[in-house]
Structure 1
Amino acid sequence: MKYNIKEMSLAELEPRVIEGLLEHKERLGYDIPKSEAVHIGFAALNESGEIVGGVTAKISYGELYVSLLSVDKSTQGTGVGTALMEQIERYGRANNCHHISLTTFSYQAPDFYKKCGFTELGRVKDFPLKGEEKYFFIKYL
Structure 2
Amino acid sequence: MQIEIAQPKQDHVEQAVVAMLSENAQITGFPYQPQPLVLKVCDEGQVVAGLVGHTNWDWLYIETLAVAAQLRGQGWGRKLVTEAERIAIERQCRGAWVDTFTFQSPEFYERLGYQPFGQLPDYPVGQRRVFLRKLFAQ
With the shorter chain as reference, the TM-score category is 0.7 to 0.9
* Residue number among 17, 35, 40 corresponding to 2:37 in the alignment: 40
1:69 correspondence with 2:73: no
Aligned length: 124
* Residue number among 16, 20, 33 corresponding to 1:12 in the alignment: 16
Equivalent AA in structure 2 for residue 104 of structure 1: T
CA-to-aligned-CA distance 1:49-93 (integer Å, 9 cap, x gap): 532210011111211111110011111111111111110111111
Please state whether the residue corresponding to 1:107 is helix, strand or coil.
helix
Q: CA deviation at 1:13?
A: 4.4
Stretches of structure 1 lacking an aligned partner (at least 5 in a row)? 1-8, 26-31
Larger radius of gyration: 1
Among all aligned residue pairs of Structure 1 and Structure 2, give the percentage whose two residues are the same amino acid: 22
Larger mean CA deviation between 14-23 and 110-119 belongs to 14-23
1:56 correspondence with 2:60: no
Q: Which has the higher strand share?
A: 2
* CA gap 1:22/1:107 in 2 versus in 1, 3 angstroms: same
Stretches of structure 2 lacking an aligned partner (at least 5 in a row)? 1-12
Please state whether the residue corresponding to 1:78 is helix, strand or coil.
coil
**Whole-angstrom distance in 1 between the partners of 2:56 and 2:107:** 26
* CA gap 1:14/1:78 in 2 versus in 1, 3 angstroms: closer
**Whole-angstrom distance in 1 between the partners of 2:112 and 2:45:** 26
Equivalent AA in structure 2 for residue 136 of structure 1: F
The TM-score with structure 1 as length reference comes to 0.79
